[in-house]
Structure 1
Amino acid sequence: MEPIRLIEVKKEIFSDNNNCAQNIRANLKQKNVSLVNLMASPGSGKTSLILQTINRLKREVNIAVVEADIESLVDSEKVAGAGVKAIQINTGGACHLDAVVVQKALDNINLEEYDLVFVENIGNLVCPAEFDIGERFKVMILSVPEGDDKILKYPLMFSVCDVLIINKIDYLPDEGFDPARLRERALRLNPNIQIFEISCRTGADVDVWCNWLRDHIK
């Protein structure tokens, strides 16, 4: 009997992805452009956060947005309506973005004209956490209605992110969400994570997040 040959597809996929991501990161660094990989569950407020950030920073920071979705142009149309360049990626069912797809989107942006590029990843707390897309910052959003136990179910997402944004604090108090408990768990898992508690609906403390972002991209 012939020996069985093992082909490690996942390892090869990650290797190719990481090489592409490193090229993206090097190119953006050379051009002094910050790429923010925004990840969250569907409905947590990714597009709302981007729009709130655009409204506060667009007069001093040149912003472009790469929108990823299974279908539709809904979020891209909102971003374009705010006066910002938007590139839409429709994945047709894929549950995450990889560096190769992001590179194709960046090829449609004159990066010399921008300081900041948001990538709104697919709504998912699993696969996006595994793929480096060449970002400078990984940012995740957790909304109050989702519950504070998401960190127990999806620890990888919390452990790889630079920033955790707790959105929809206007829903507090909520028996299913304890911000202090979430903060304690997050810092135990990822001591360097930055945590912001905001409401995109009311605008509460969005300025605190924007000030942090402004300081770090400059």
Structure 2
Amino acid sequence: LTLNLVSSPGSGKTSLLTRTIDDLKNELKLAVIEGDQQTSNDAERIRATGVKALQVNTGKGCHLDGHMIGHALDGLQPEDDSVLFIENVGNLVCPAAFDLGEAHKVVILSVTEGEDKPIKYPDMFHAADLMLLNKVDLLPYLTFDVDRCIEYARRVNRNIKVLKVSATSGEGMDSWYQWIRATRALAAIGA
């Protein structure tokens, strides 16, 4: 099962991913391909969890592509029956148009970004199967309208599933994990 995690920079992708790995690594086989324009900071954070991670730097490129993923898979060699997370370059425009062979695009939107992101960047939200509304622990301190955000997301993709999570507090993370388990089970039977 391959999941392509996409978002703008600062949405909490890496924090969400490290929390997910820490909570699921004893249950599932996991591997990560990290995409950034520069540095290996995020891959180092992932490796610190004990899970295999391979960094792909895109330089001036604003997204990963299938060719990059193919080479990364050769180097990473994830175990059979594993969940492969691709943490794409932080960008809500470029990665929307590129199929990396993933089973699902998962868009992460933090409540600090504004509820109108789905209608400002409709291609990304249209391409995603799941939206993780992250940093919900900060809602008491913000004027973010959760219902309006979900309405906007469903305006561009009526089938998008939405889960409210906080990688910091753990709120909603069990729903995310249940989604991963269910999606993996469906993939295993070829559904």
TM-score by length of 1: 0.82
Measured after TM superposition, the shift of residue 110 of structure 1 is 2.4
Structure 1 residue 206 corresponds to structure 2 residue 176: no
SS in 1 for 2:100: coil
| Counterpart Cα distance in 2 of 1:40 and 1:187 | 17
Deviation sequence 1:71-120 (CA, Å, 0-9, x none): 11111111100000010001112100111111110111223445111000
Structure 1 SS opposite 2:162? strand
Q: Of 44, 57, 69, which residue of structure 2 is paired with 1:90?
A: 57
Amino acid across the alignment from 2:66:
A
Task: Specify the alignment match of 1:100 in structure 2.
Answer: 67
| 3-state SS, counterpart of residue 214 of structure 1 | helix
CA deviations 1:119-166 (Å, max 9, x no partner) are 000000000001111000100100011000111210111111000000
Which residue, out of 120, 129, 136, partners 1:162? 129
Residues 39 and 125 in structure 1, CA contact (< 8 A), matched pair in contact too: yes
Q: Secondary structure at the match of 2:75?
A: coil
User: CA RMSD for the aligned pairs?
Assistant: 1.1
Q: Which is worse superposed, 181-190 or 89-98? A: 181-190
Structure 1 residues not aligned, in runs of 5+: 1-33
Q: Unaligned regions of 5+ residues in structure 2, if any? A: 186-191
Alignment pair present for 1:36 and 2:3: yes
User: Is 1:133 aligned to residue 96 of structure 2?
Assistant: no
Q: Conserved in 2, the CA contact under 8 Å of 1:63 and 1:114?
A: no
Q: Whose helix fraction is larger, Structure 1's or Structure 2's?
A: 1
Following TM superposition, by how much is the alpha carbon of 1:55 offset from its aligned partner in structure 2, in angstroms? 1.5
Aligned length in residues: 184
Give the number of the structure whose alpha-carbon radius of gyration is greater. Answer: 1
Q: Within 5 Å, which residues of 2 pair with 1:124-203?
A: 124-173=91-140, 174-175=142-143, 177-203=144-170
Superposition map of 1:63-82 within 5 A: 63-82=30-49
Whole-angstrom CA distance in 2 between matches of 1:215 and 1:52: 19
**Deviating runs (4+, > 3 A) in structure 1?**
111-114
